[in-house]
Amino acid sequence: MEAHNSQPTVSLQYVDPQVDELLKHSIRTQLESLLKAKLTTGQRQLLLKKSFVDAMTLVLSNTQVEHLQLVNTFEAMYDQAVQSMALAQLSQEQLTRQYVSASGLIMSPHNCKHTIKDVYRIKGYARGIDLAIQSKLKHSPSITILYPACGPFAPLLLPLLSYYKDSNTFTSQQINVILVDVHPGAILSLQQLIKDLQLDDFILRIEAADATEYEPAESIDLLVLEAMQHGFTKEGQLSIAKHLVKFLNIDGWMIPQNVSVRGMMVIGETEFNQQWKEVEYSHSLNTNTSAQQDRVELGEILNINKSTLLNMQELELQDGVKVIPASKIKLPTGVKDMGERILAIYAHIDTFADEGVEQYDSGVTHPRPDMTFYIDAKPRDVEHTHFVASSGDMVQFYYQLSGLPGFVPVKL
Ligand SMILES: C[S@@+](CC[C@H](N)C(=O)[O-])C[C@H]1O[C@@H](n2cnc3c(N)ncnc32)[C@H](O)[C@@H]1O
């Protein structure tokens, strides 16, 4: 899911009003079909809960589940959740306003609503969160979970809580959740969805706040966060994690426990086109061996976990922009076609224990081509944003913490 045309400054942006009408139309259509079906509130809530429980039953199962079955089950969950969003009666602005804040893109609820269909991302997170909760509750009567930038559906937790409630696995005395989102439309939608799912007891608070500034009064056992886009760009994952990690208990865990952001030089046609010609859908299990062997890995550019976050040093540049020094990498030598290759940056997410989200499992781990980075080649039009280096050069990567977060390579 890509953002609309964002700018590197704090600015408000609105989607074209004509497009807005079309966007809103799709939600209205679903609401109308719901009304036509003449369901009572009770019947609708039952279907909603069932769809959430069904999705988690599949995801937590240890037997192999067909891709199509997963997709259809998640689609049913989406269809139900979107009805709660429709019933929350967001104004056009609350539904479609999208803007760039000081720490990254603030996506509109209209665009965010699709993340509940991101099957393998939710699977990797839900399985990890489930293990972490089980583990914490073995030693403690109750835990507090903080989930910042949760979006309109908080899809990494609400389905799991529905499952716990339905199966009597854990009670609301054991799990206290704080949900945080800065978008008023996301807050309204969350309130409606939680009411419809009858999960109020599990929710300690819903906070309308910027997660890079929010200070919880409680100490936190689990910090659940996914505010990233492919190539670790655009959204404020790092700024949010860096701020909130301070509120974790000494033995509190961040989920994901580790994010490894890596770089590679690839032939674009092989990596992004040929590799996927014969397969039904992109997923780490469906990658092609020869395309993988054709990659020239540069190694890890940034590693994000509780300990690296607590030790991260920020540098402030003259214009107030803050950067984090990331890895120093020696560009490989002896690669004949290096000049034809492009840089692609991808993330590998370890949510908890052995659970995770690997390359191509989700939009957020999909390698992102960077067309401004050149090795042994000259760009046709040299712009100041272009980085030009040679095989064997040492390159220092920085991560820029701004409205448009992303990597900045510098030649040493
Ligand atoms: C892509 S959506 C939801 C992602 C959600 N974590 C998930 O797993 O599906 C991103 C949401 O993060 C919120 N958000 C982004 N940056 C934020 C910040 N600094 N503070 C609070 N909310 C933020 C946006 O308002 C939006 O509702």
Q: Is the pLDDT of residue 116 over 70?
A: yes
Where does a domain end: 221, 255, 289? 255
Q: What pLDDT sits at residue 103? A: 81
Q: 239 with 142, same domain?
A: yes
Percent of the chain having pLDDT more than 90? 77
Where does a domain end: 222, 255, 288? 255
Give me the chain's average pLDDT, please. Answer: 90
Section 173-202 average pLDDT = 98
Q: 266 with 137, same domain?
A: no
Q: For residue range 348-396, what is the model confidence (pLDDT) as tens digits?
A: 999 999 999 999 999 999 999 998 999 998 777 766 678 999 999 999 9
Q: What pLDDT sits at residue 11? A: 36
261 and 230 in contact (C-beta within 8 Å)? no
Q: What pLDDT sits at residue 380? A: 72
Q: 125 with 265, same domain?
A: no
Across 78-169, the runs of DSSP E, i.e. the strands, are: 98-101, 104-106, 143-148
Which amino acid makes up residue 22? L
Q: Is the pLDDT of residue 6 over 90?
A: no
For residue 118, give the 3-state DSSP assignment: coil
**Residue 1 falls inside a structural domain:** no
Number of separate domains in the chain: 2
Range of the domain at 296: 258-411
Q: 33 with 146, same domain?
A: yes
Q: What pLDDT sits at residue 104? A: 86
Q: 389 with 293, same domain?
A: yes
Identify the H or E element spanning 41: helix 41-60
Q: Tally DSSP H helices, then E strands, for the chain.
A: 12, 19
Q: Whose CA is nearest to atom 1 of ligand 1?
A: 112
The confidence band for 3, taking pLDDT boundaries of 50, 70 and 90, is very low
Q: Which atom of ligand 1 is nearest to the CA of 185?
A: 27
Q: Whose CA is nearest to atom 12 of ligand 1?
A: 149
22 forms beta bridges with: none
Q: Which of 181, 206, 254 to mutate to test the pocket of ligand 1 (most atoms within 8 A of CB)?
A: 181
Q: 282 with 371, same domain?
A: yes
Q: 240 with 388, same domain?
A: no
Give 328 or 4, the one with higher predicted confidence: 328
**Residue 4 falls inside a structural domain:** no
Q: For residue range 31-52, what is the model confidence (pLDDT) as tens digits?
A: 776 766 778 999 999 999 999 9
Q: 191 with 277, same domain?
A: no
**Residue 28 falls inside a structural domain:** yes
Where does a domain end: 188, 220, 255? 255
Q: What pLDDT sits at residue 383? A: 67
Q: Which atom of ligand 1 is nearest to the CA of 104?
A: 16
The confidence band for 192, taking pLDDT boundaries of 50, 70 and 90, is very high
Q: For residue range 99-109, what is the model confidence (pLDDT) as tens digits?
A: 988 888 899 99
Angstrom distance (rounded) from CA 116 to CA 71: 11
Ligand 1 geometric centre to CA of 126 (Å) = 17
**Residue 92 falls inside a structural domain:** yes
Q: For residue range 273-320, what is the model confidence (pLDDT) as tens digits?
A: 999 999 999 999 999 999 999 999 999 999 999 999 999 999 998 888
Percent of the chain having pLDDT more than 70? 91
Angstrom distance (rounded) from CA 305 to CA 270: 32
The confidence band for 24, taking pLDDT boundaries of 50, 70 and 90, is low
Q: For residue range 223-266, what is the model confidence (pLDDT) as tens digits?
A: 999 998 877 777 889 999 999 999 999 999 999 999 999 999 99
Q: For residue range 55-77, what is the model confidence (pLDDT) as tens digits?
A: 999 999 999 999 999 999 999 99
* C-alpha distances out from residue 81 to 91, 178, 245, Å: 18, 20, 30
Ligand 1 geometric centre to CA of 183 (Å) = 8
Q: Is the pLDDT of residue 110 over 80?
A: yes
**Nearest in space to 9 (alpha carbons), one of 76, 102, 92:** 102
**Residue 150 falls inside a structural domain:** yes
Q: 188 with 264, same domain?
A: no
Q: What pLDDT sits at residue 274? A: 94
Q: 127 with 194, same domain?
A: yes
CATH code for the domain of 166? 3.40.50.150
Q: Is the pLDDT of residue 4 over 90?
A: no
**Residue 98 falls inside a structural domain:** yes
315 forms beta bridges with: 323
Produce one character per residue of 93-128: b if its CB has 16 or more CB atoms within 10 Å, e if not. ebbbbbbbbebbbbbbbbbbbebbbbbbbbbbbbbb
Give 147 or 321, the one with higher predicted confidence: 147
Q: Is the pLDDT of residue 2 over 50?
A: no
Angstrom distance (rounded) from CA 40 to CA 35: 9
**Residue 182 falls inside a structural domain:** yes
Q: Is the pLDDT of residue 163 over 90?
A: yes
**Residue 2 falls inside a structural domain:** no
Binding pocket residue ranges, ligand 1, CB within 6 Å: 103-104, 106-107, 112, 115, 148-151, 155-156, 180-183, 186, 210-212, 226-227, 236, 240
Angstrom distance (rounded) from CA 212 to CA 276: 38
Cβ neighbours for 326, distance < 8 A, ≥ 6 positions apart:
261, 301, 302, 396, 397, 398, 399, 407
Q: 136 with 235, same domain?
A: yes
Q: 267 with 232, same domain?
A: no
